[in-house]
Amino acid sequence: MASPEIPLDGGNASSFVVRRGDTVRKPWATSTNSVQRLLEHLRARVGDLVPEPLGKDDHGRQVLEFVPGIEAIDELPLDAADLERVGASIRALHEAAASFPRNETDAWTTAMRRPGDELICHNDLAPWNLIRSPERWTFIDWDGAGPTTRIADLAYAARAFAQLDHDHELPDSLALLRTFLDGYAASADDRDALAPAMIERAEAMRDLLIGSITTGVEPWASMAVSGHGDYWMRAAAHLRGHAAEIQNGIR
């Protein structure tokens, strides 16, 4: 008897996602071939840091392994050792992505504006996409992977894991941020570029959400009016208002 299909909740930008046995089934998108090829490339280099792609099922859906564990967002703030591990894990992903061979048939579905095309990256490396268990840590939900820059991908992740926003005390967030960057082995140039990149990524997310109210593009339009638009407006303003303090606090 086939395993029952259980709807999976928790994602803001995913729909019609189900668990079936030890697998996850999602709609097949125009970018799925490229995303699965990227995951295969990364798994050969970083192992369980990414989920295993398992092709297409009889209903035309993409299939990936189901990764059990707890979302890191439910355990924030992470302690120093775990933050360093997150930073080191993202460094490993970036180094592995640098050798990904692109081809003319690649298609990517990236919602936010692209700051460049240096690397093919996740674009949403954040606590809500990190599953942790005693056996493994895995970044999930790679459907939005696509061209960006290493520093943009790093900045987006660093802001999220350091809880660098209007809801948290700046000195506390800066301490978390320094630990995260130490784990990444961030260079002086990385640190100099980080605050402007965090502002750019936060404003890109803000603009995506607020713009979707007019365009009606989902799921962003619904997210914008359910609190995410307000959050990213305030987060972007917080970063811009404290840019000098952030820059000085991580050098």
Q: Which of 38, 65, 92 is the last residue of a domain?
A: 65
Give the pLDDT confidence score for residue 10 in this predicted structure: 57
Is the pLDDT at 11 greater than 70, yes or no?
Answer: no
| Residue in the structure block whose two tokens are 């840019």 | 243
Token pair belonging to 110: 């990236």
Query: What confidence tier does 16 reach under pLDDT thresholds 50, 70, 90?
Result: confident
Interval 108-135 mean pLDDT:
96
Q: Are residues 184 and 132 in the same domain?
A: yes
Over pLDDT 90: what percentage of the chain?
Answer: 93
pLDDT at 14 over 80: no
Q: With contact defined as beta carbons under 8 Å apart, do 41 and 100 qualify?
A: yes
Alpha-carbon gap, residue 182 to 250, rounded angstroms: 10
Residue 15 pLDDT class (50, 70, 90 cuts): low
Residues 12, 125, single domain; the answer is: no
Average pLDDT over the chain reads 95
Assess whether 81 and 60 both reside in one domain.
no
**Interval 114-133 mean pLDDT:** 97
pTM: 0.94
Looking at the structure, do residues 155 and 76 belong to the same domain, yes or no? yes
What CA–CA distance (Å, rounded) separates 140 from 67?
A: 8
> Which range has the worst mean pLDDT, 2-6, 97-101, 196-200, 235-239?
2-6
> What is the reported pLDDT for 180?
98
**Judgement on whether residues 89 and 48 belong to the same structural domain of the protein:** no
CA distances from 3 to 16, 22, 23, 215 (A): 17, 9, 10, 39
What dihedral do alpha carbons 188, 194, 196, 201 form, nearest 10°?
160
Q: Are 204 and 104 found together in one domain?
A: yes
User: Looking at 50, 65, 80, which one is the last position of a domain?
Assistant: 65
Helical spans, DSSP H, in 25-79? 32-46
Local confidence band at 198 (pLDDT 50, 70, 90 cut-offs):
very high
Interatomic CA distance for residues 144 and 122, integer angstroms: 6
Measure the CA–CA gap between 20 and 52, rounded to whole angstroms: 15
d(C-alpha 41, C-alpha 101), whole Å: 9
| CB of 202 closer than 8 Å to CB of 191 | no
pLDDT at 9: 73
Residue 13 in this model has a pLDDT that exceeds 60: no
In terms of residue numbers, what domain contains 53? Answer: 5-65
Same domain? 132 vs 102: yes
Tokens 């992470």 found at: 78
In the chain, the number of structural domains is 2
Domain match, 91 and 118 both: yes
Task: Give per-residue pLDDT as tens, 39-89.
Answer: 999 999 999 999 999 999 999 999 999 999 999 999 999 999 999 999 999
Mean pLDDT of 211-227: 94
pLDDT band at 1 (very low <50, low <70, confident <90, very high): low
Any idea what the CATH number is for the domain that residue 161 is in? 3.90.1200.10
Question: Is 20's pLDDT higher than 60?
Answer: yes
Q: How would you label 43-79 residue by residue, b for 16+ Cβ within 10 Å and e otherwise?
A: bebbeebbbbbbeeeeeebbbbbbbeeebbeeeebbe
H/E segment holding residue 221: helix 220-223
Distance CA 44, CA 47 (A): 6
Please tell me whether residues 123 and 28 are part of one structural domain.
no
Same domain, 90 and 212: yes
Strands (E), the chain: 5-7, 18-20, 23-26, 53-56, 62-65, 70-71, 119-121, 130-132, 137-139, 146-148
| Mean pLDDT confidence for 217-228 | 94
Q: Is the pLDDT of residue 115 over 80?
A: yes
Do residues 94 and 145 share a domain? yes
